[in-house]
């Protein structure tokens, strides 16, 4: 069977560094941090009192107030990011014949779904008289698949429609699944990405209990320091990233702008621990090797790796050991943009895919901020970028994501040619 080529023709983003792709990308290149004190609730009783929150978000720019009340914040972020991606791709589904919309689908990811809605509704129940007066939209606001459903309804899309959940690998998994759907001829266009709105009391409290979050309350902006000898955990983030993937010939025929081509995806498992990662990075290495094999590439052909690199002591070393295993002595550029965005959990893969794509499009690799002294346990020979962005030709970029449960997912993008 001849596999179809798949182009990336639209990008959209809601992030702690801006609510559009141009603003987000500009702040990434400027090395800005999105971290600050938590404003969504009183965090003074928590061990961690800061996060990378989305700023100045107004859902009524996209839907009216009545409609907005039907959606948890993670779905609102999904709508906003996807609206930008669809406009960016030059698509107008309102005028597209229904028969063509049969071939357009949505695969959308989230690690936590409507955790804010869940928390709010249970608090109202237990603080009340015990009478179950739940919001009729409680369940559809909460469930993880509802963002995918809401997007298909919004645009009238009848193609494949579902959610992927693999913790922090969720949106990379969605992108790989959408890529496979198109190249196997099961759709012409797919909207893929992920969203997360998990800066809530239960989420921050839960991650604190698992010793995953940084507790650097005195200096939130420098708290996310991947690979640093003094790193103490990740910084929670929120937002959404959306990609429009399109069958290559279809994109060319309609004169679409092509950002990049997606050429490979690999998924694997650590099969090791519920939350921890193995020291040798076995699952991560396997996922990267599968992505390379899928793309028909040698490790030496990759120019840039956007590392998962959450800033946890165990996780960073595990990934770098995996990269050293797969790429051996190849000095591929490696950077960790979570140092700026924080960790968007289930949306991380989509946001970092956008960064990888724009690195290819613009031939510039973002750097890692905040890292001052590299952990002496890091394998020798790795080309970890610190300081300023690097201007260099980027033909292929690989994006890593790993999640609780041992899920690993790696995607490879190629310069459009």
Q: How far apart are CA 168 and CA 152, in angstroms?
A: 23
Nearest to 216 by CA among 199, 232, 228, 229: 232
Q: Using an 8 Å Cβ cutoff, are 417 and 183 in contact?
A: no
264, 303, 369, 371 from 392: Cα distances, Å: 22, 9, 19, 22
Query: What backbone torsions phi and psi does residue 260 show, to the nearest 5 degrees?
Result: -170, 175
Of the listed 52, 168, 333, 407, which one is catalytic?
168
**DSSP code of residue 305:** E
Of the listed 52, 308, 333, 407, which one is catalytic?
308
90, 126, 191 from 221: Cα distances, Å: 36, 36, 32
Q: 211 Cβ partners below 8 Å, 6+ apart?
A: 233
Q: How far apart are the first and last CA of the chain?
A: 23
Q: 151 Cβ partners below 8 Å, 6+ apart?
A: 78, 79, 82, 106, 108, 157, 191
Active site includes 273? no
Active site includes 52? no
Residue 64 DSSP SS3: coil
Q: How far apart are CA 280 and CA 319, in angstroms?
A: 8
Stretch (H or E) spanning 161 = strand 161-164
Burial annotation 56-69 (CB, 10 A radius, 16+ → b, else e): ebebeebbeeeebe
Of the listed 52, 333, 343, 407, which one is catalytic?
343
Active site includes 333? no
**DSSP code of residue 368:** B
Q: Which residues are catalytic?
A: 168, 308, 343
């Amino acid at each position: 069977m001849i596999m179809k080529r798949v182009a990336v023709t639209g990008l959209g983003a809601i992030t702690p560094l801006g609510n559009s792709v141009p603003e987000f990308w500009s702040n990434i290149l400027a090395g800005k941090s999105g971290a600050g004190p938590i404003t969504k609730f009183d965090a003074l009783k928590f061990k961690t009192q800061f996060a990378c929150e989305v700023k100045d978000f107004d859902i009524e720019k996209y839907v009216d107030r009545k409609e907005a009340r039907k959606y948890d914040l993670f779905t609102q972020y999904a709508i906003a990011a996807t609206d930008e991606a669809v406009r960016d791709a030059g698509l107008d589904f309102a005028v597209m014949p229904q028969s063509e919309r049969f071939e357009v689908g949505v695969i959308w990811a989230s690690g936590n779904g409507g955790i804010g809605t869940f928390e709010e509704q249970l608090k109202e129940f237990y603080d009340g008289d015990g009478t179950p007066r739940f919001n009729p939209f409680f369940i559809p606001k909460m469930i993880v698949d509802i963002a995918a459903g809401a997007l298909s309804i919004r645009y009238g899309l009848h193609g494949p429609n579902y959610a992927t959940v693999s913790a922090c690998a969720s949106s990379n998994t969605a992108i790989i699944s959408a890529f496979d759907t198109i190249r196997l001829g099961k759709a012409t266009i797919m909207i893929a990405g992920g969203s997360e709105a998990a800066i809530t009391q239960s989420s921050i409290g839960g991650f604190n209990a698992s010793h995953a979050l940084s507790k650097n309350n005195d200096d939130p902006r420098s708290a996310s320091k991947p690979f640093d000898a003094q790193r103490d955990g990740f910084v929670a983030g929120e937002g959404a990233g959306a990609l429009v993937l399109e069958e290559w010939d279809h994109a060319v025929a309609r004169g679409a702008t092509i950002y990049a081509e997606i050429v490979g995806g690999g998924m694997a498992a650590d099969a090791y621990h519920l939350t921890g990662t193995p020291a040798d990075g076995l699952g991560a290495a396997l996922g990267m090797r599968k992505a390379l094999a899928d793309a028909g590439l040698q490790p030496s052909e990759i120019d840039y790796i956007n590392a998962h690199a959450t800033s946890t002591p165990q996780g960073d070393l595990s990934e770098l050991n995996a990269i050293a295993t797969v790429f051996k002595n190849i000095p591929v550029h490696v950077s960790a943009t979570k140092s700026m965005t924080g960790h968007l959990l289930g949306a991380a893969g989509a946001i970092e895919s956008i960064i990888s794509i724009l690195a290819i499009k613009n031939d510039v690799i973002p750097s890692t901020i905040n890292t001052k002294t590299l952990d002496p346990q890091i394998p020798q020979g790795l080309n970890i970028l610190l300081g300023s962005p690097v201007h260099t030709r980027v033909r292929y970029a690989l994006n890593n994501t790993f999640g609780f449960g041992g899920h690993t997912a790696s995607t490879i993008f190629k310069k459009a040619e």
